[in-house]
Amino acid sequence: MPTIELLEIVKRLSDGKILLKLKSGGKPSYQYVYRAAAGVYWSEHESSFTFDAQSNSDPKDSVEHVRRVVRDEMKILLLADAGTVFENVPNCLLRNL
């Protein structure tokens, strides 16, 4: 059964990376995300996954790719709720989380 992780913040950073901050603070094992999804990193200090939005695709597609790999390989569902804060993200991301 997958672990459900609610997103506290979804943010597009000034360098183009996307940050997915978890409300729970996450788990130490999340540091191994890079094994499942190349270019995705866990910051224990920030309680967040960060990754580059693929330069040749829509940020929505990059986020969906990361969510799918984290779900399939690590058994973690990343979900937004009414309290999730979205900063500097396209409207297409808002509809899909």
Domain that holds residue 83: 3-96
Say which CATH number the domain at 26 has: 2.20.20.40
CA distance 41 to 37: 9
| Confidence at residue 16, expressed as pLDDT on a 0 to 100 scale | 83
| Closest alpha carbon to 50 in 73, 7, 21, 24 | 21
Instruction: Please tell me the predicted confidence (pLDDT) of residue 54.
Output: 58
* pLDDT tens digits, one per residue of 15-37: 888 999 999 999 999 999 988 88
Reading the block at residue 31, the tokens are 């540091």
Q: What is the pLDDT of residue 90?
A: 66
Cβ–Cβ under 8 Å, residues 48 and 19: yes
Q: Number of folded domains in the chain? A: 1
